Chain A
Amino acid sequence: DIQMTQSPSSLSASVGDRVTITCRASQNIDSYLNWYQQRPGKAPKLLIYAASSLQSGVPSRFSGSGSGTDFTLTISSLQPEDFATYYCQQSYITPPYTFGQGTKLEIK
């Protein structure tokens, strides 16, 4: 199975900061990489699909990049509602479509 490793596991930042979260796959997954945001007690929300495509309705301050094994999620200017946990997920060829362990973004 493909393993997904996110870094950092947690991150403290302030409103207005630019934040980058990285995700590394254990093998080449082309651009089959998605990003989700999860707020406490809520279901995950799709932010980015196919590594860099912004899901409809998601603010443009979110962006994704990368291909192959290394990927990044960037939030250009943090807003109060962005403090949450973020997960990457690979969807390469056949299941299991594994998730990263998550990155908890906290207010500094």
Chain B
Amino acid sequence: EVQLVETGGGLIQPGGSLRLSCAASGVSVSSDYMSWVRQAPGQGLEWVSVIYTGGAIYYADSVKGRFTISRDNSKNTVYLQMNSLRADDTAVYYCARGSITFEYWGQGALVTVSS
């Protein structure tokens, strides 16, 4: 059974940093494409980032230069380092397995950027 568990969300002031973790079981982050998708309160889904098995990485324009996706194969965990956070980054952040099709999703981690 595939499980993705996001942690690290919380309340952070504008300009601050936060790192989300996505601990995976039933799937290997080293051999699967892993993505982050977010959803602002009451809004739709927004694709954020993907890390491919070969190491290629892509970001949405809205987070490029501020967010960094990475993985630790030994911990079977994917990370999203978020810097220079803004109010419009407030959202539930989902970790998902896949790149072009998101078959498995975590339960989400809420990030609130507010002073």
Contacts and interface: CB of A to CB of B under 8 A. Distances in A.
Interface of A: 1, 32, 34, 36, 38, 43-46, 49-50, 55, 87, 89, 91, 94-102
A46 B47 contact: no
Contacts, number: 57
Closest 6 interchain pairs by CB? Answer: A91-B100, A43-B105, A95-B58, A99-B45, A102-B44, A49-B101
A100 to B, nearest CB: 7
Given A96-B58, A96-B60, A46 B44 contact: no
Contacts of B102: 34, 36, 44, 46, 89
A98 B37 CA distance: 10
Chain B contact residues, majority secondary structure: loop
A87 B59 CA distance: 20
Interface residues of B, number: 20
A97 B59 CA distance: 10
A44 B47 contact: no
B4 to A, nearest CB: 9
Contacts of A1: 61
A55 B106 CA distance: 18
B67 interface: no
A102 B43 CA distance: 9
Interface string B32-62: 0000010000001111001000000011110
A1 B37 CA distance: 17
Contacts of A44: 37, 45, 94, 102, 105
Contact of A99 (B47, B58, B99, B100): B47
A93 B57 CA distance: 14
Nearest to B104: A46
Residue from A38, A95, A101 whose CB has the most chain B CB atoms within 10 Å:
A95
Nearest to B35: A97
Given A91-B101, A94-B58, A99 B94 contact: no
A32 B44 CA distance: 20
